[in-house]
Amino acid sequence: MMKIRFNLTGSFIYISVLILSVIFASFYGGLLPYVLLYGNLVILPVSFVYILLNYKFISIYQEIDVHRLIKGEQHKLLISFENTGLFPVHDMELILHSDRCGFNDIKDGDVISVQAQEKSRIEAGIICLYAGTYDVGLKGVGFKDVFGIFSVSFEVPYSFRAIVSPRITDIADNFLDIENTLNSIGAKSDIKREDISGNEMRDYYPGDLLSSVNWKVSARLDKLMVRIPDKQDTRRITLYMEASYINDREWDTELIKRRDYFLEFAVSSAWYFVRKGISLTIVCPVGKITRIQMATYEDFLDFYNTLSGSVSYRSADEKERMHKLVQERGYGEDGDRIIVIISEDDVLEKDFCVIAEGN
Amino acid sequence: MMFWKKISVLLQKEIKHILTVLVIISAGIEVYVMTGKNISTVYMNVYIHYTAGFLFFYTVLYLAFNVFTGSRSSALAVSSSAVMFSFLLRNTEVYDNANSRAGMFPIGILAGLVYIIWLLVRLLLSFRMSELVTVLLADLIMIIAFFNLGYFGSGSFTGRIIYISLFVLTASQINHKYPFAYFLLVMLFLFMIPIRKEPINWEPVVKVAVGVANKGREAARSLRYYFSDFGTGTAYQSGYSSFAKTGNSVVLTDRTEIKLKTKDNTGFTFTDEATGKRYRGKRVVYLTGGRAVDKNRIFDMLYSLYMHGVDKTDADLYIRNSKLNIGYVYLKTGDEIAPEGAIRLTNDNGIIEEGRKKRNHKKGYNIYAEYLDIDYGNPYLTYIIASPVEDADKALLSYEDMSLYANNILGIRFKEYFTGEEYLSWQGYKGYLEEDIDISQVSHRMKELAYDITKNCVSDYDKCNAIEAYLRQYTYSTTVESKVYGSTTDSEGMSKIADEFLFESGKGYCVHYACAMVMLLRLNGIPSRFNTGYRYAFPFERMEEYPVYGHNAHAWPSAYIKGFGWVSFEPTSAYTIAKDRTWHRQPAKIKGEEEILKEGEVYSLNNGTSPYPTPAVTGVEEFSKVTERNYGRMINTFKMLLIIGLGVIVVVIIMLLGPIFYRSLRYRISDQRGRIILDMEDIIFLIKGICDKAVYDRGVMSDYITLIPDKYREEYDKVYKIYYRLKYRSGNDMSGEEIVSKEEEIITRELRNKLYKEYKMKFLRIFYVKFKKAY
């Protein structure tokens, strides 16, 4: 896409000079007046043509040293320019995605010149400010005409699409204090568990429950043996990640911020349960709606690696399905679970994170 | 790549240098000329061309050597060429000519001096400042030279080079960092634009602006015209329509009400017998509304002419068969507006029979009229009018005889225009209606006046002339404060208007004059009518259309002269009478006889054998010429369309084949790297074409693996890695051969060719399927 902007002062001076040359040519014929007049008339269109030729023959390639970035961490950005045309490119302005990235060694508005048939490179540090999948680095290039009357900017033909992983934080902790939420006494406990029969044995002590005696083993050993109970989570948790359905190409900074928060919250939620040893089922859109079981740290890492680049719907129907699941809130297999719903559309609103009992 | 880079970077510098030197030398010459020295023009042109050519030749050689050797070696090699070149120059005519030799020496010294001064400037100032000072100095000198009629400002080709170079150099100093290649582009464009010796001619622009303004005005009028019936509930007011309610002041506008088109001559020329000078006269046409074809009037006139033995030769002196197209513009009326003497009226629906329609005609309505343009001022005709054959029996002349007679003298197809029934009806018709002699409500004083004016007149025609002459003494004015309300549609109304005009106000416009004459004629027993319409005098210059404005609306009387029929008169003093605008046609002088026309005498013609001349140009003849012109125009139009069509075809072919040739050429002159890159671009393009779904191109080649047909997947995997290796391996000076092998280049090309075949087959299949479906 091309944008043209006119400089007020430059335009005013140019028009004044043009008018003067028209007046001059209205009174005098011959070489001097007409060369002045035509020269002034021709300057702008030729500038425009020159700029178009520059843009047509400049090739831009950008890459980052790693495939997957982490939010807030610095990575190395490399931008290559190659001028394959016959005309030098002079003072081409760099337009960066500075709304979503921070840069070291370059800044928005820096200029670069490339001679004909020449290559040039820029190395700089880049820090992605948000998690998610979006274009980073160089957004566009700008050219000015010879006298600064107007400037033309173009979007780069190929952007670099970064997959930025969110940071693992505790922003979800306050939201997810389920025990405090559901415990009517109000006392906070780390874990609420019930005993279930386990496989470990020990000698009977007076006072142990008769039901915990393992009679078979007792008969074999000729003494009373009781089972040591295991702990079982009293609650099963399902986390629904209701992401927004947005076409890849429509991402703007506000949407990126929203997605960043959403992902960070999801990761924080998962981390919250994992470190408490609570198994978690995550229902999230990874192309299609997928249920991910998470009980261990390894499960969490897998989920974390998948999360940033893959949260999307492959069609609007999948989004509808997700929404319906959220509405039904755990009918069927989630019936006896605690349901946690995070809804990207409602980021920073009251209803962003909803905790409820399964139906 | 290196070659092009060297060329583009070094050439710009060298060209800038050459232009600067050229401009400096030229400035020096101008100074020399302004000091009053005389230099042969031919010599100076030659000198400049040789200088410029030498410098350019030197630069090209220098660059060519510089590509292959170092700059010092190339400078040495080129310098020796320069020395050889100067020896060659010695043998040209320039040296042989003694004058030139004499002139070259001071020029050479001058050029050397200028160059030395320039070098000194460059030594003293920084490079940037020295360039700026040089260019500004040259600007100043050339501007002064221009105003002092210096040599180069005259517009010669050399001068053009110099001034354009100066402009470009000056512009480049404003932003000296900008690549000089841009300024060379500007220079290229400036060379293509023609330069005039005269200042800008603003006339066409002014014409266009006036045209646009007029169109805007017409558009506004059209808008008012189409919305004129809203609000007021009255019909669109115009000069013509307002005559029905008169007596008071009338506002006549310059709004176009009708437009006339004719191929006839719009004027006539004659020689004044007294002075022998040639004069031009304008044709005048009276357009009347609401009458259509007055067939009885035509029959009356023809009968009268017949009774006077008028033949074609005689008739041609005062009757002309004419055609006129009347187009309605800003006029809403149901009346059919047609010229007096109309013999046939048609519109797009056919022949017009009635003079008035119930519904108003709107803008764009057209009437095609054929009419008899009659010169009522011609003395031969006035003689006939003044001496009517009274009491002649109309029945004596049969329809057949009348038809033959009319065909003969007028050249019209009488039977096509007038039926036997109409003719028969005329034979029984007395010529006028009762209302034409209605004198009700006429005042006594008007009766007395009518008698007084005509008491000495013998014939009716004389009476008409006397009344016309009497009324022309009254003052013409459009601002009249009337105390009576009169309508021109009946006798009572006309009497009131006439009475006030004749005896009270003493001034008026055409309506007053016409009402007065009508009533005075009737009081003398002469039937008369009040006519409304337009009086239009054609301009001398021929136009496509003749606009008739509101202020051309007019009223005039007609009188029924017994034995001749209806004759119109012009009592309004603002306009000429028939006698004053006669065509002055006279018969050719008969050998041995002299006829001198004196005032009051008329010459009577009879059926003789004298070869009277006929008018040189008739409407029919002009129409033939126009046809030939049209035919020639058609041929030219066709030729033009053919050239344009061929041009378009050539352009389309160039557009379609141009990219193919361009790509082919690029491929041939590219090195291995260039060829592989071109092949890769084609491969991507072909994959997109073969693939059925929409492709979003991220510029990542690996994306296309899933899109390419399976059988080429492995090959493509190799090829795009070759491409990446070639494109992004570091080392700007590495050519393709150091990164990619010959075999890999062949692999790339073969994949491209295979995909191209696949692409062609796909489109042939699609075309075949569509073709089958269609047929």
Task: Look up the CATH number of the domain holding residue A60.
Answer: 2.60.40.10
B454 has a pLDDT exceeding 90: yes
In this structure, are A222 and A249 located in the same domain? Answer: no
The answer to whether position A240 is within a domain reads yes
Q: Is A88 on the interface with B (CB under 8 A)?
A: yes
In this structure, are A248 and A210 located in the same domain? Answer: no
Supply the pLDDT for residue B711.
86
B275 to B56, B146, B278: CA distances (angstroms): 75, 57, 9
Supply the pLDDT for residue A348.
66
Of residues B233 and A54, the one with the higher pLDDT is: A54
Of residues B605 and A154, the one with the higher pLDDT is: A154
Q: Is A20 on the interface with B (CB under 8 A)?
A: no
List CB contacts of B515: < 8 A, sequence separation 6 or more: B486, B488, B494, B495, B497, B498, B501, B530, B555
B181: chain A residues, CB-CB within 8 Å: 86-88, 116
What's the one-letter identity of residue A244? S
**Over the stretch A172-196, which tens digit does the pLDDT of each residue have?**
877 776 555 544 433 334 444 555 5
Angle, to 10 degrees, between the axis of helix B98-124 and the axis of helix B41-68?
A: 50
Dig out the tokens for B592 from the structure.
């041995």
Q: Within 10 A of B9 (CB to CB), how many other CB atoms are there?
A: 17
Nearest CA in chain A to B168: A39
A16 has a pLDDT exceeding 90: yes
| Identity of the residue in B8, B197, B728 whose CB atom sits nearest the CB atom of A116 | B8
Q: Which domain holds residue A100?
A: 2-163
Q: What is the 3-state secondary structure (H, E, C) of B75-98?
A: HHHHHHHHHHHHHHHHCCHHHHCH
The answer to whether position A266 is within a domain reads yes
Distance between A94 CA and the closest CA of chain B, angstroms: 18
How far is B15 from B10, CA to CA, in rounded Å?
9
CA B311 from centroid of its chain's CA atoms = 44
Through-space distance between the first and last CA atoms of chain A, rounded to whole angstroms: 51
How far is B334 from B241, CA to CA, in rounded Å?
10
User: Among residues B320, B343, B313, which one has the least CA distance to residue B408?
Assistant: B313
User: Among residues B161, B166, B54, which one has the least CA distance to residue B111?
Assistant: B54
A165 has a pLDDT exceeding 80: yes
In this structure, are A103 and A220 located in the same domain? Answer: no
B202: chain A residues, CB-CB within 8 Å: 26
Supply the pLDDT for residue B268.
83
**Over the stretch B186-218, which tens digit does the pLDDT of each residue have?**
999 898 888 888 888 888 888 898 889 888 887
Nearest CA in chain A to B201: A26
In this structure, are A16 and A118 located in the same domain? Answer: yes
| Identity of the residue in B5, B146, B155 whose CB atom sits nearest the CB atom of A118 | B5
Q: Is B728 on the interface with A (CB under 8 A)?
A: yes
B490 to B244, B442, B529, B581, B668: CA distances (angstroms): 10, 12, 10, 31, 96
Supply the pLDDT for residue B106.
55
Supply the pLDDT for residue B617.
32
Of residues A149 and A356, the one with the higher pLDDT is: A149
- Please report, rounded to a whole number, the percentage of residues in chain A having pLDDT higher than 90: 27
How far is B661 from B654, CA to CA, in rounded Å?
9
- Are B199 and A158 inside 8 Å of each other by CB? no
Supply the pLDDT for residue B176.
85
For residue B244, what pLDDT band results from cuts at 50, 70 and 90?
low
| Identity of the residue in B2, B178, B190 whose CB atom sits nearest the CB atom of A146 | B178
In this structure, are A207 and A315 located in the same domain? Answer: no
Give CA torsion, residues B234, B240, B243, B247, to 10 deg: 100
In this structure, are A217 and A259 located in the same domain? Answer: no
Q: What is the 3-state secondary structure (H, E, C) of B579-608?
A: HHHCCCCCCCCCCCCCCCCCCCCCCCCCCC
Q: Within 10 A of B452 (CB to CB), how many other CB atoms are there?
A: 10
Using DSSP's 3-state secondary structure scheme, residue B555 falls into strand
The count of structural domains within chain A is 3
Contact A123, A110 (CB under 8 A): no
How far is B744 from B732, CA to CA, in rounded Å?
21
In this structure, are A16 and A148 located in the same domain? Answer: yes
Classify residue B364 by its DSSP letter: T
In this structure, are A103 and A17 located in the same domain? Answer: yes
Supply the pLDDT for residue B661.
81
- Please report, rounded to a whole number, the percentage of residues in chain A having pLDDT higher than 70: 85
**Over the stretch A23-82, which tens digit does the pLDDT of each residue have?**
988 888 888 899 999 999 999 999 999 999 999 999 999 988 887 888 888 999 999 999
Of residues B22 and B210, the one with the higher pLDDT is: B210
Q: Is B668 on the interface with A (CB under 8 A)?
A: no
Beta bridge partners of B335: B356
| Identity of the residue in A30, A86, A119 whose CB atom sits nearest the CB atom of B155 | A30
ipTM over 0.90: no
Distance between A313 CA and the closest CA of chain B, angstroms: 18
Supply the pLDDT for residue B39.
59
| Identity of the residue in A39, A90, A118 whose CB atom sits nearest the CB atom of B179 | A90
For residue B63, what pLDDT band results from cuts at 50, 70 and 90?
low
Dig out the tokens for A352 from the structure.
């962003």
In this structure, are A294 and A151 located in the same domain? Answer: no
For residue B238, what pLDDT band results from cuts at 50, 70 and 90?
very low
**Over the stretch B48-60, which tens digit does the pLDDT of each residue have?**
666 666 666 666 6
Which of these ranges, A155-169, A298-312, B447-461, B513-527, has the smallest mean pLDDT? A298-312
Per-chain mean pLDDT for chain B: 78
In this structure, are A12 and A148 located in the same domain? Answer: yes
* A215-244 residues touching B, CB cutoff 8 A: none
Supply the pLDDT for residue B429.
84
DSSP string, A227-270: EEEEEEES-EEEEEEE-----GGG--HHHHHHHHHHHHHHHHHH
How far is B189 from A65, CA to CA, in rounded Å?
47
**Over the stretch B138-151, which tens digit does the pLDDT of each residue have?**
888 888 888 876 66
- Are B697 and A158 inside 8 Å of each other by CB? yes
B2: chain A residues, CB-CB within 8 Å: 117
Contact B460, B561 (CB under 8 A): yes
Contact A252, A298 (CB under 8 A): no
The answer to whether position A189 is within a domain reads no
Q: Which of A17, A24, A32 to mutate to test the interface with B (most CBs of B within 10 A)?
A: A32
Q: Is B186 on the interface with A (CB under 8 A)?
A: yes
In this structure, are A26 and A158 located in the same domain? Answer: yes
**How many CA atoms does the CB half-sphere of B382 hold within 13 Å?**
22
B287 has a pLDDT exceeding 70: yes
**Over the stretch B468-511, which tens digit does the pLDDT of each residue have?**
999 999 999 887 777 776 677 788 889 989 999 999 989 888 89
In this structure, are A214 and A79 located in the same domain? Answer: no
B265 has a pLDDT exceeding 50: yes
B771 has a pLDDT exceeding 70: no
A88: chain B residues, CB-CB within 8 Å: 8-9, 179, 181
| Identity of the residue in B199, B697, B728 whose CB atom sits nearest the CB atom of A28 | B199
- Are A38 and B700 inside 8 Å of each other by CB? no
User: Among residues B559, B571, B497, which one has the least CA distance to residue B535?
Assistant: B571
Helix (H), strand (E) at residue B740: none
B196: chain A residues, CB-CB within 8 Å: 29, 34
Q: Is A36 on the interface with B (CB under 8 A)?
A: yes
Supply the pLDDT for residue B462.
93
Using DSSP's 3-state secondary structure scheme, residue B37 falls into coil
Of residues B147 and B578, the one with the higher pLDDT is: B578
Supply the pLDDT for residue A12.
92
Count of residues in chain A: 359
User: Among residues A59, A80, A162, A72, which one has the least CA distance to residue A124?
Assistant: A80
User: Among residues A242, A231, A236, which one has the least CA distance to residue A265?
Assistant: A242
Q: Within 10 A of B92 (CB to CB), how many other CB atoms are there?
A: 12
| Identity of the residue in A31, A91, A157 whose CB atom sits nearest the CB atom of B163 | A31
Q: A312-313 and A280-294: which strand pairing?
A: parallel
For residue B618, what pLDDT band results from cuts at 50, 70 and 90?
very low
Supply the pLDDT for residue B742.
85
Q: Is A161 on the interface with B (CB under 8 A)?
A: yes
Using DSSP's 3-state secondary structure scheme, residue A147 falls into coil
Count of residues in chain B: 775
Helical segments of B195-289, H only: 203-226
Mean pLDDT of the B59-71 span:
60
Residue with tokens 């009659």: B374
How far is B98 from B234, CA to CA, in rounded Å?
92
- Are B182 and A115 inside 8 Å of each other by CB? no
